Structure 1
Amino acid sequence: MKVSVTRSDAHYEVAFHRPAFSRIASFSQIVEPIYDAFSAEVQIPPDAIKLENGNTIATAGVTLTLFSGFSLFEARLDGYKARFLDLQSSEAIDQAKRYAKLFESAVCGFLADGIPAYWRLIIPSWLTVDGGMDAAEGLIRGLTWLPESHDPFEIGSTKVSSQVRFDCFNTEDLWTVRVTVDKSAMPDTHLFLEISSEYVHGSPFNTLDKQAEHLSIVWNSVVSKLGLEGD
């Protein structure tokens, strides 16, 4: 089935085992290393960095917004995340990964006692399909099965459960992949495909580069097994 990717986003999230308590009193100082990390690469508008002076772990945070909101970064005492919208090219993807690593380096350098409990990388995509919505619905109907003892996408999972959402696990390498296939709610697109990977502490995929490479392999395998071909 011929498809074309109309839009892809990327979300990266890291949660700590326990909050970086040693930085509670001085958390506002994280603004400077974040600013320094990005100022050499991009012009940072005066209102791009926002400090949330909350009095709890959940409410104290710093956000950096770039490119009219298409890139958003958030740091808190219990972890950090980055979001990139509408990645249209391989160059945009490489840039997003570079910016995520810049942010990660700045945050981890400041919150030195924050030990990751898990990393999560999510790629939602919206596609057009030859045959339109009828073809997309036909594909989705064919996926409502339960391969409890199989690895349908050949991604190295040791256990799989599914309906239109497949949860795939690898207990040795400590990762979980969730594959969601659905009708698209975005205008002028037909199919929604989201691949979400999570790596817990102790996984060999313990850096963004390794996680991105793994997710790329998973993506290509899933797309192939779904019978989707790029135009």
Structure 2
Amino acid sequence: MQRIDERWNDAAQARAISWAEARGEALPATNRVLRNTYVLLALTLAFSALTAGAAMALRLPHPGVIITLVGYFGLLFLVHKLANRASGILAVFALTGFMGYTLGPILSAYLALPNGPAIVMQAFGGTAAIFLGLSAYATISKRDFSFMGGFLFVGILVAFLAGLGAIFFQMPGLSLAVSAMFVLLMSGLILYETSQIVRGGETNYILATVSLYVTIFNLFTSLLQLLGVFNGEE
């Protein structure tokens, strides 16, 4: 019996050591993905702001819904195709630069309004507060938000289709409702994506960066529209 107990204890200790070693290896990898994601995200946001500023300075027109969708989904496909290569980083900058260009004319239209600059700053501040607050909560608490994945996917798909309907059928009320939905959905997506990175569910920082960038972009534009309506500018 004593030998059996000793063998059992040895096996338990071996499993504990193995688990600790595996966790010790996983933590640096997770921290590396998190660090690379936020560094690349900061760079792409800066590049997107640069292309938006260039579009505003050159007074470029908005490319329209069709070109925007084709460009977005085409570049998004390219990012996923090159996600495991160094060239994937260039694809990320191409996507975020294009999205920045589409944002430029929108910002120009808002800034031309009497209360436009205040609306833009409020949307920017609200986006930053929501993103930083929810990201910090998901990182510090390390809670598992993977259960939200299915709900978020369906919700975003429904909101996207509703948004297209609001544009093509010119339904301002539906468009406002879609913007409110996107604020809630993007907030949930921040928790979900950050949780995936922290818990090791997302190991590709290129894909993680694109996901968070799109979340921030949609959150900002949705807040911009909501604040424009609430301030009586739309």
**TM-score normalised by structure 2 residue count:** 0.29
Per chain length, whose mean CA-contact separation is higher, i.e. which structure has more relative contact order (CA < 8 Å, sep 6+)?
2
Q: Which entry has the higher C-alpha Rg, 1 or 2?
A: 2
Structure in which a larger fraction of residues adopt helix: 2
**TM-score normalised by structure 1 residue count:** 0.29
